[in-house]
Structure 1
């Protein structure tokens, strides 16, 4: 009698929405490739070399012609893979390792959570850690089933996908929790763009996030 074949491991893809992140996207892609051979970067109308740098680092790249926002870029990346599970990452992370991605996905693969949300811990930047702790529901580091994420209403319509994801978690009764990502931090907008441009970009981001509820009630 032939031995039964062992079940094949689940297919996992790392999806990375990116807008003008040529300085950091390669290191994020390299950490992701150490974890999974399938890494998809969606360049959200970037005006710099984000797409070229990500492709040279080994990612499959989807290029949006115009800057439409993180939500449309995330959806484009999800549609470019048929993986069963996905790990979603921001493109401006520092200190990321394969172990962090394993920690993020583990409770989802084990069936303990429907979504794991990564939060920074001890990454060496008070501002990055503090901001992530203050608004952990806005974290871009997540793991879940791809089909669940694609089912989120308005995912590809909202510039920032985290609020509709939060609503979908609540509406579907999904099990979720935070996972600490030690020694990981995010490059602040003020650092990437200069203080005033970064501050304006941050203000616009929070204004759009705060207006989400109003737009949803109207819709």
Structure 2
């Protein structure tokens, strides 16, 4: 049984290396795929220090499209999705997400931040369905349509699909982990505008039909 990690990334050269360093320490992972989603920095160059499987998209198509591009590239039986800007990721976090699916306990897991940073902990407790840290069997993603059009609404659209199909999903609490906020990456004003765009894309995904 092969396990692949797919990490979508947009201008994450300063942060992605720490995530990849941890992932490469997990022996059960057979493939590490990074999708540089139209990045204008050295995200792809940094990723190639850790893996040969780097996809460079010419333009930014959004998180959903980047993830599905990585999925189409990989043929692994189990797929782990991780954000590129995680803080505090450890090997045990990765294993905690993977093992329930590998062992056949459930078909999918979703990671929930806990005991990390106040705002990210609070946000995930209110809306755990928006977490980008997930493990899924390939057969689940293969059967979903239109996820490549959801951008930042990917997680909500995926959650809707899993709920509608009564897929057994286990919540895994990831202690001491969080991520960089948009306002920290881009500055207060640009970060706030990006956050509004992200929330708009999430709201739009509510009406996406992904049979």
Return 5+ residue gaps in structure 2 as ranges: none
Q: What value does the CA root-mean-square deviation take over the aligned residues?
A: 1.7
TM-score by length of 2: 0.93
Residue 25 of structure 1 corresponds to 16
Contact kept, 8 Å, 1:153 with 1:168, in 2: the verdict is no
Q: What is the aligned partner in structure 2 of residue 162 from structure 1?
A: 155
Aligned length: 208
Q: CA deviation at 1:213?
A: 2.7
2:168 corresponds to 1:175:
yes
Deviation per residue, 1:76-124 (Å, 9 max, x gap): 111111111111000000111111111001111122211100011112x
* Residue of 102, 108, 112 corresponding to 2:101: 108
Distance 1:37 1:212, change over 3 A: closer
Which of 185, 189, 197 lines up with 1:192 in the alignment? 185
Pair member with larger Rg: 1
| Structure 1 position 50 matched with structure 2 position 36 | no
After superposition, give the CA deviation of every residue in 1:148-199 in whole Å (9 maximum; x if it has no partner).
1232221112113112211210221100121001111111111111111111
Normalising to structure 1: TM-score of the pair? 0.90
Q: Secondary structure at the match of 1:201?
A: helix
- Whether 2:189 is the aligned partner of 1:201: answer no
Cα shift readout 1:17-46 (whole Å, capped 9, x = no counterpart): 111111111111111111124110001101
